Copies of this chain bind each other. A is one copy, B any other.
Amino acid sequence: MENMSTPLANNHISVDCVVFGFDGTDLRVLLVKRSGSDDGGDYNDMKLPGSLIYRDEDLDEAAGRVLEELTGIKDLSLTQFKAFGSKDRTSNPRDVLWLERAQKEHVELIVTIAYFALVKLDKALEKTVDPAQAQWCRIDDIGPLAFDHNLIIEEARKAIRREADNNRALLFDLLPKKFTASQLRKLSEIINGKTLDVRNFHKKIAQMPYIVPLDEKQQGVSHRAARFYRFDRKAYTVMR
């Protein structure tokens, strides 16, 4: 898994990356496959891309390195959002056993420093990932993960919600250049984790000077063609 010739800082500090990808319809999380065996026999499950840090690297460097090593994805803008250090993190014996085999050392409490990234999940990015190693899972389909990784994803989701509240521009990086009100609403719903009223949402965008209606409409759709909008980054920046 790691290049074991590089000295680890110690057995106690790791980084984990929650990479959210929006594919135009769904929010997905990048997970890596884990297999091992314990009393119950062989098992296969999933975890966040994460690992212990090396002695000579900063936390941010470690997060970038680990993500690339485990998934092939590099140069993402990763944001540190929270450290997790509950003693319950390693309450599942399977996780401790797996770690000790991987690290070839005794493992106790591990504090992990968690990072998130939010990207537009296009075909090119999907191709970067080796499906034998990693997978973009729909957020609603994620089952029980290793360690406290379900909790980390939940907290990462809160962090992107706060981030999007502070900086709406974030959302528009995930949408096509020309988008419909319905696309924007669905993305907002996904980020906020709740359904929005369609009429109120239309009223709201009409009041936002940085969401500019275009003369262009959808073509070749069976339902009533929806108008396209574009995001005016300059107008948005002036307003802030």
Contacts and interface: CB of A to CB of B under 8 A. Distances in A.
A108 B9 contact: yes
Nearest to A165: B166
The oligomer's copy count stands at: 2
Given A10-B108, A111-B113, A85 B53 contact: yes
Nearest to A85: B59
A126 interface: no
A232 interface: no
A57 interface: yes
Contacts of A165: 166
Contact of A111 (B82, B86, B87, B111): B111
Nearest to A89: B58
A150 interface: no
23 contacts: A9-B12, A10-B10, A10-B11, A10-B12, A10-B108, A12-B13, A13-B13, A13-B111, A55-B87, A55-B108, A55-B109, A58-B85, A58-B87, A59-B83, A59-B84, A59-B86, A62-B85, A80-B82, A83-B83, A85-B113, A111-B111, A162-B166, A166-B166
Which of the listed residues A55, A109, A166 has the most CB atoms from chain B within 10 Å of its own CB? A109
Interface residues of A, number: 26
Interface string A1-34: 0000000011111000000000000000000000
A216 interface: no
A86 B61 CA distance: 9
A10 B87 CA distance: 13
Interface string A63-101: 000000000000000001011111100000000000000
Interface of A: 9-13, 53, 55-59, 62, 80, 82-87, 108-109, 111, 113, 162, 165-166
Contacts of A55: 87, 108-109
Given A9-B109, A12-B12, A53-B85, 20 more contacts: A9-B108, A10-B10, A10-B12, A10-B108, A12-B13, A13-B13, A13-B111, A55-B109, A57-B87, A58-B85, A58-B86, A59-B84, A59-B85, A80-B82, A80-B83, A83-B83, A83-B113, A85-B113, A111-B113, A165-B166
A157 B173 CA distance: 28
